[in-house]
Amino acid sequence: MKKNLKISNGVKNKRIYFDYAATTQVDPRVLRTFLPYFSEKFGNTMSLHSFGQEAKQALEESREIVADLMKAKPKEIIFTSSATESNNLALKGMAFANRKKGRHIIISQIEHPCIMECSKWLEKEGFEITRLPVDEYGLVNLGHLKKAIKKDTILVSIIHASNEIGTIQPIEEIGKICQEKGVYFHTDTAQSFGKIPIDVNKMNIDLLSASSHKMYGPKGAACLFVREGTKIEPLLHGGGHEAGLRSSTVNVAAIVGFAEACKLCKKEMRKEAKRLRKLQDKLIKGVLEKIPDSYLNGHPKMRLPNNANFSFSFVEGESIVIQLDLLGIAASTGSACATAKLEPSHVLLAIGLKPPLAHGSLRLTLGRWTTEKEINYLLKVLPEIIKKLRKISPFKTTTRPPRPPSLRLGP
Amino acid sequence: MNKVGLYTKKVIEHFKNPHNMGKIKNPDGVGKVGNIICGDVMWLYIKVGKDKKGREIIKDVKFETYGCVAALATSSVITDLAKGKPLEEALDFNREEIIKELGGLPAPKLHCSVLAADALYEAIYDYLKKQKREIPEKLEKAHQRIEKEKKEIEERYKEWIKIEEEMHKK
């Protein structure tokens, strides 16, 4: 085993990052642009003097760039500190601004934990939450959605692309239904913004959350798009920054970085998505082909170009992640053993995975610096790791020989 | 700090190269346990012999574990600690010994050490039962507690367990 893993392929001594859905490195081209806003351009955007106005100008230029990537108007962009904050502002802000109109909110069962927890809190505050189930690929059923919308429904919030399984929802159709029924529509695009095209008008989106650090910008900057004329209550009251919706001294440096990251994503999106698709294809086919009793989680086609999520029978995910880490490869799992609460991923359970398969899940997410060489290396070592862990496992007799992936990829 | 990420170096050593891994052919006792919360499963096999003083000792011990880093490391360590030990002493094992030997475990992983100790108790219980010997009260109590959890875990993995059992009948 040990010998097998010492494969000399040029990446042996380098760490390999397959966890771009967790966070990304700041692109060096981005880093250069925002560093001056920590030093000579440090002004407060609310100040009247030249220091302040310099910062204010950078902020407004950034707003234009971020808005442009989702085809929104600059004044519809509210900068926040994280997608979690944006999601909280969207849900709580919408709920409290419209509670006289209604108290019913619809989300899906595969939202990010910040939406899940937010919805639980709103329940305690007297709001009614419907959590729409998803099918085996993680897709929301549009018929279910239509039926779930009631007279007192104020908001539908559905994640654009799953952070765990990468499934992309039919957001345009969902937006259309919401518009027809006259309810607000929020979507969390933390994983998709900058990776796939988004148009808030075409998609009938009223509120949208996006985050900088998932797209090669710095941490500490994010935004909430709030469609003109949409009323929400702020979470933070104070000096009235960001149109009164988010008081706090503005983190100009991080926002400048966020905007620069948006610029690069816009410029490179098509080419980069195509490149990642090819790598993703190779990765998925390779894993399913080489490892018996392996399964792809999420939709085979309607998925982010950078996400691959697998389940392996008879082995546990944290063990796989640590084995990979010992070889310098960073990945992630939805196994119960990897969390403090010892609960398997709610997303994997929602797509109908039995606990044993959620237990053996592995998420590999690719990004701007992923190379084919790295995929090749992973495809060499992962089968060995699974084999080794299965050797230790009391359950090792595979139920069937590996099948060609073509048989398992189709919906 | 003597740590590699989440775990101590000792834990990682056992995880990378587990000791006494595998099955024993015709074991004298088998302990099969599972944790219903996280879902980990541990199977432990023992062979009983006698030492010079004529005391019954654990002559050989092996394990198979389905679980996280901590579950694998605690299984490996308990086989080290149990090997050569008189049965009576092995019954006095507690999880503190396992944790100490590993240089500590992260708090959410402490239950893995309980699982390892339980697997050993169950193997000894199985041995005594097969020999139609009297079961010490402490062991009987432990067995009853473990049995309850085991039913749930066996239900969860029933398909896999069936396949394994059929494979080894042949």
H helices within B2-136, ranges in order?
9-16, 69-82, 87-90, 95-101, 110-130
Contact B68 A335 (CB under 8 A): yes
How far apart (Å, rounded) are the C-alpha atoms in residues B108 and A362? Answer: 20
* Two tokens, residue A55: 């910062």
Residue A13 CB neighbour total at 10 angstroms:
7
d(CA A138, CA A345): 13
d(CA A231, CA A65): 23
Q: What is the mean pLDDT of residues A349-365?
A: 92
What is d(CA A215, CA A218) in angstroms, rounded to the nearest whole number? 9
**Residue A75 gets which letter from DSSP?**
G
Chain A residues touching B9 at Cβ < 8 A: none
CA dihedral A54→A59→A63→A65, nearest 10 degrees, is 60
Residue A257 has pLDDT above 50, yes or no: yes
Q: Which of A56-60, A80-84, B112-116, B156-160 has the lowest mean pLDDT?
A: B156-160
What does the pLDDT read at residue A26?
98
A337 is catalytic: yes
* Gap between the Cα atoms of A260 and A64, Å rounded: 11
Residues 6+ apart with CB under 8 A from A233: A92, A93, A96, A97
Residues A365, A371, A376, A377, Cα dihedral to 10°: -80
Q: Considering only CB atoms, which chain B residues are within 8 Å of A355?
A: 39, 156
Mean pLDDT of A43-48: 97
Confidence of residue A402 (pLDDT cuts 50, 70, 90): very low
Average pLDDT over residues A56-67: 98
Give A105-140 pLDDT, tens digit per residue: 999 999 999 999 999 999 999 999 999 999 999 999
Count of domains forming chain B:
1
Q: Which amino acid is at A186?
A: H
Note whether A212 and A254 are within 8 A (CB).
yes
Taking a C-beta distance cutoff of 8 angstroms, is the pair A56, A45 a contact? yes
**Ramachandran quadrant class, A242 (left: phi over 0; alpha: psi -120 to 50; beta: rest):** left
Quickly name the fold that domain A28-265 has. Aspartate Aminotransferase; domain 2 (3.40.640)
Q: Which residue of B has its CA nearest to A400?
A: B163
CB-CB under 8 Å, A337 with B66: no
Chain A partners of B157 at a C-beta cutoff of 8 Å? 356, 395
pLDDT of residue B2: 62
Q: Has A213 been labeled as part of a binding site?
A: yes
Mutate to test the interface with B, among A321, A395, A396, A399 (most CBs of B within 10 A): A395
Nearest beta carbon to residue B67 from set A325, A337, A391 = A337
Does A84 show up as a binding residue in the annotation? yes
For helices B69-82 and A317-326, what crossing angle results, to 10°?
Answer: 90
Please give the backbone phi and psi of residue A204, each rounded to the nearest 5 degrees, phi first: 55, 45
Q: Do the chains contact at A355 and B69, CB–CB below 8 Å?
A: no
**pLDDT for B113:** 87
CATH of domain A2-26+268-409: 3.90.1150.10
End-to-end CA distance of chain B: 49
A211 is in an annotated binding site: yes
- Chain A residues within an 8 Å CB radius of B18: 392
Averaged pLDDT, groups of 10, chain B, 170 residues long? 77 96 95 85 95 94 95 95 92 86 90 90 96 92 88 83 75
ipTM computed for the complex: 0.90
**Do the Cβ atoms of A395 and B41 come within 8 Å?**
yes
Q: Model pTM?
A: 0.91
Tokens 């002493």 appear where? Answer: B89
Kindly list the residues from chain B whose CB atom is less than 8 angstroms away from the CB atom of residue A340: 108
Interface mutation vs chain A, best among B12, B23, B37, B66, most A CBs within 10 Å: B66
The per-residue pLDDT for B163 is: 81
> Residue A119 annotated as binding?
no
Q: How far is CA A125 from CA A103, A118, B127, in A?
A: 10, 11, 57
- Mean pLDDT score, A270-274: 98
User: Which residues pair with residue B147 across a beta bridge?
Assistant: none
What pLDDT, on the 0 to 100 scale, is given for residue A408?
A: 39
Contact B156 A355 (CB under 8 A): yes
What is the structure's pLDDT at A86? 98
Indicate where chain A has its CATH 3.40.640.10 domain(s): 28-265
* Least confident window among A5-9, A374-378, B34-38: A5-9
For residue A387, the one-letter residue type is K
Could you tell me which residues come within 8 angstroms of residue A71 by beta carbon, excluding any fewer than 6 positions away? A198, A199, A200, A201, A202
State the amino acid at position A97 in one-letter form.
A
SS3 for A281?
Answer: helix
Would you state the pLDDT for residue A5? 44
Distance CA B53, CA A247 (A): 79
What is the number of other CB atoms lying within 10 angstroms of the CB of residue B14? 24
Residue A83 is labelled as binding a ligand: yes
pLDDT at B161: 83
Backbone angles phi, psi at A333, to 5 degrees: -140, 155
CB within 8 Å: A336 and B38: yes
Q: Measured at the alpha carbon of residue A74, what is the angle toward residues A73 and A77, in degrees to the nearest 5? A: 100
Which among A325, A336, A395 has the least Cβ separation from residue B157?
A395
For A128, residues 6+ apart whose C-beta sits below 8 A from its C-beta are: A103, A104, A105, A152
d(CA A373, CA A380): 11
State the residue for tokens 């909280």: A88
User: CATH 3.90.1150.10 region(s) of chain A?
Assistant: 2-26+268-409
Supply the range of the domain harboring residue B89.
3-169
Provide, as residue numbers in chain B, all residues whose Cβ is less than 8 Å from the Cβ of A325. Answer: 5
Average pLDDT over residues A145-161: 98
Cβ–Cβ of A322/B64 closer than 8 Å?
A: no
| pLDDT score, position A410 | 33
User: What does the pLDDT look like over A200-238, one tens digit per residue?
Assistant: 999 999 999 999 999 999 999 999 999 999 999 999 999
Res. A187: pLDDT tops 60: yes
Of A313, A315, A394, the CB nearest to B64: A394
SS3 A283: helix
Q: Which of A132, A134, A162 is nearest to A147 (CA)?
A: A132
Cross-strand bridge partners of residue A211: A222
Q: What residues have CB less than 8 Å from A82, skipping those under 6 apart?
A: A211, A219, A220, A222
Q: What is the reported pLDDT for A13?
A: 57
Tell me whether residues B15 and A335 touch, CB distance under 8 A: no
Q: Which position has the token pair 């400048």? A: A256
Q: Is residue A209 marked as binding?
A: no
Q: What is the arithmetic mean of pLDDT over A73-88?
A: 98
* B114/B50 Cα distance (integer angstroms): 27
A165 pLDDT higher than 60:
yes
The CATH number of the domain where B121 resides is what?
A: 3.90.1010.10
Under 8 Å between Cβ of A166 and A303: yes
> What count of residues does chain B have?
170
Judge: B7–A322 Cβ closer than 8 Å, yes or no: yes
What is the chain B residue with the closest CA to A313?
B160
Label residue A63 by pLDDT band (50, 70, 90): very high
| A43 φ, ψ (degrees, to nearest 5) | -55, 160
* Residues of A whose CB is below 8 A from B70: 337
For residue B4, the chain A residue with the least C-alpha distance is A326
Measured between CB atoms, which of B64, B109, B159 is closest to A392?
B64
